[in-house]
Structure 1
Amino acid sequence: MPTENLKRCSWAGNDPLYMDYHDNEWGKEVHDDKTLFEFLVLESAQAGLSWITILRRREGYRKAFADFDVYKVAAFTDKDVERLMQDTGIIRNRFKILAAINNAKLFIEVQKEFGSFDKYLYSFMPNGKPIINHSNSIPASTPISDTISKDMKKRGFKFFGTTICYAHMQATGMVNDHVPDCSFK
């Protein structure tokens, strides 16, 4: 069936990049720590901006942040920060760049403590399983995203409040918020 005959969640609009993200990634379960780190960096960069702005720079982020290799990013130096501040392929916000490096270091600590970042995140989920909503009302945050973001803040993570946390949960399939008539649920 051609994709133009399929129904999508309204937020996907008609931008091909947004539609592809909606159809192939959003709400799909991810348990790979590298991908979870990628979305941690991207969602944190998105704070205060639209998601499409970050999606359009995703390849720039991939290049700038060592293909989202958490160990390489954790080892970034002041020289790397200055290099990133000149990189037009990403959002050149010093605080967000420093947060990505800080969060990489903390991500590794969480991996050591829990065995994987995935196990850490799913320790907050009911029965360790994703939530499938299929409601016409999509929240900006939930009590679970509140709890996760508070715990991450306590651990020192930056740019990961409850709204960003919930977006991360949606992006990585911890929550599936496709509306009931969406063909991609």
Structure 2
Amino acid sequence: MSQIFKSCDNRMRCAWCAATDEYIHYHDTEWGYPVSNDIKLFEKLCLEGFQSGLSWRTILSKRDNFRKAFDGFDFNKIALFSEENVKRLLTDQGIVRHRGKIEATINNAKRAKEMVDEFGSIAAYIWRYEPDANSLDAPQTASTSEESIAISKDLKKRGWKFVGPTTVYAFMQAMGLINDHAEGCEFREKAFELRKNFKKPK
């Protein structure tokens, strides 16, 4: 099965974009490009957790609702959420109403604050795990990696929830720690260029 497809604008993209037009915009403008913004990194970890057992299409279509419900994924604010906030979120039809995942997001916000205290930023912590490009499997052939397993294990040790190795690997793909755009995808080179010019957080 081909990893790429030609869309209606005659551009070659990763085949998973064919599922919905929403994927095309996300793929072209976000997926696989390196991120150092802590709010965006925290948001993506949380949304990948919410995706567990669901499709990314479901989460992407609700992303704006999630942002509104969780104060723009500002972990300093979410860390202060109470049981009243949990009850509010459980009645919010615009998000995935799963108590465990909602409570995990609040818990993870507290852990994120601890991480910033220790490392200076979430980005500084995450980018320590950037894999050597020469060690990577062919694009889109893996669902976990040595690094995603290591991050997952360490995050769980630190008290984070819903951060299994597969969830973390999807996070790494999306946040540009690896360039997993398929061979032949027109946006693979853009990802390489952005990574080349990216200043790794310290």
1:172 — aligned with what? 175
With 59-68 and 132-141 compared, the bigger mean Cα shift is at 132-141
Shift of 1:137: 4.2
Identify which of 80, 87, 90 aligns with 1:85. Answer: 90
Secondary structure at 2:12 match in 1: coil
Identify which of 142, 147, 156 aligns with 2:145. Answer: 142
The alignment of Structure 1 onto Structure 2 pairs a total of residues equal to: 182
Answer yes or no: is the 8 Å Cα contact 2:81–2:106 preserved in 1: yes
RMSD, aligned α-carbons: 1.9
Aligned partners of 1:134 and 1:176: how far apart in 2? Answer: 11
Structure 1 gaps of 5+ residues are none
One-letter amino acid of the counterpart of residue 116, structure 2: Q
1:155 — aligned with what? 158
Shift of 1:176: 1.2
Secondary structure at 1:156 match in 2: coil
Identify which of 101, 106, 115 aligns with 2:106. Answer: 101
State the TM-score, normalizing by the size of structure 1.
0.93
Distance 1:184 1:33, change over 3 A: same
1:50 counterpart = 2:62:
no
Aligned partners of 2:29 and 2:8: how far apart in 1? Answer: 12
What is the identity percentage for the equivalent residue pairs of Structure 1 and Structure 2? 46
Aligned partners of 1:60 and 1:3: how far apart in 2? Answer: 29
Aligned partners of 2:166 and 2:148: how far apart in 1? Answer: 7
Aligned partners of 1:173 and 1:132: how far apart in 2? Answer: 16
- CA displacement 1:63-120 (0-9 Å, x = unmatched): 1000111111111000000000000111000000000000000011011100100010
Aligned partners of 2:69 and 2:135: how far apart in 1? Answer: 34
2:9 — aligned with what? 4
One-letter amino acid of the counterpart of residue 138, structure 1: T
One-letter amino acid of the counterpart of residue 170, structure 1: Q
Answer yes or no: is the 8 Å Cα contact 1:134–1:176 preserved in 2: no
Matches within 5 A, 1:51-66: 51-66=56-71
Identify which of 17, 40, 44 aligns with 1:39. Answer: 44
Shift of 1:132: 9.6
Distance 1:153 1:60, change over 3 A: same
Secondary structure at 2:86 match in 1: helix
Shift of 1:25: 0.7
Answer yes or no: is the 8 Å Cα contact 1:44–1:164 preserved in 2: yes
2:26 — aligned with what? 21
Shift of 1:135: 2.9
State the TM-score, normalizing by the size of structure 2.
0.85
Secondary structure at 2:129 match in 1: coil
